[in-house]
Amino acid sequence: MSRVADKVVLVTGAGSGIGRATAALLVAEGATVIVSDINRAGGLETVQQIGGKARFEDHDTAQEADWKRIIDGILEREGKLNGLVNNAGIAGPFPATFETETVEQWQKILSINVQGVFLGCKYSVPALRQSGGGSIVNTSSLAALVGTPDLSAYGASKGAVRQFTKTVAMDCARKGYKVRCNSVHPGIIMTPMGEGILPDEKKRDRMRKHIPLGEFGAPEDIAYGILYLISDESRFVTGTELVIDGGMNAI
């Protein structure tokens, strides 16, 4: 399989869930993948499961110094960077309405979900340009497209990711950088984050009734969308959002 043969791709938050599934699929399709996560044990487990062309980096995506170190290290070690999957994110406490959300919770969620994406774009774009161009995929959410009264800060953060993605895409296109930027918008996916929001079967059964296709998504469902956006198959796609939600946004 060679949909991304010889590409070097950084996947953040790859210690579990969508990030892990994406890293595994990219390697299976020929890429060299840098797996990064603040969860060292999870990241190393991902690399062990994938085997082949993958290595791990400790990475707090909210920290500018970490981004500088990792991007510089990729250029030094792999010699290029062809893709970035800005996937790291947290949901925070559930439920959390805007009236009950603390400033500390709000700032923590936005520092990872928004600042992390901003820093990823800021430091990867020059590396992608140096490598002849490439693709950025930012993980947003269905929450960016609908109201989220029980996940106030999370919904706001993912809305910011959606808008910022378009800004980066248009800026790079206007300047002729040959760097594309798109967002993916998962619905309810059974990852550790999803399981935390829906911890028991009764709640899951109730939520399934709101999904037109009648089932929750799997991490691999999102990974295939990301693979397309990282690959050259999507060479004419930038500034757009790929919704993968079992039809929930169509209701």
Which amino acids are annotated catalytic? 154
- The three-state secondary structure class of 204 is helix
Rounded distance between C-alpha atoms, residue 117 and residue 129, angstroms: 18
- The three-state secondary structure class of 245 is coil
Rounded distance between C-alpha atoms, residue 235 and residue 229, angstroms: 8
Rounded distance between C-alpha atoms, residue 100 and residue 78, angstroms: 46
- The three-state secondary structure class of 121 is helix
Rounded distance between C-alpha atoms, residue 99 and residue 214, angstroms: 32
**SS3 letters across 51-92:** CCCEEEEECCCCCHHHHHHHHHHHHHHCCCCCEEEECCCCCC
φ, ψ of residue 186 to 5 degrees: the values are -70, 145
The DSSP symbol for 217 reads B
Query: From residue 228, how far is each of 29, 101, 169 by CA, in Å?
Result: 11, 36, 17
Rounded distance between C-alpha atoms, residue 125 and residue 2, angstroms: 24
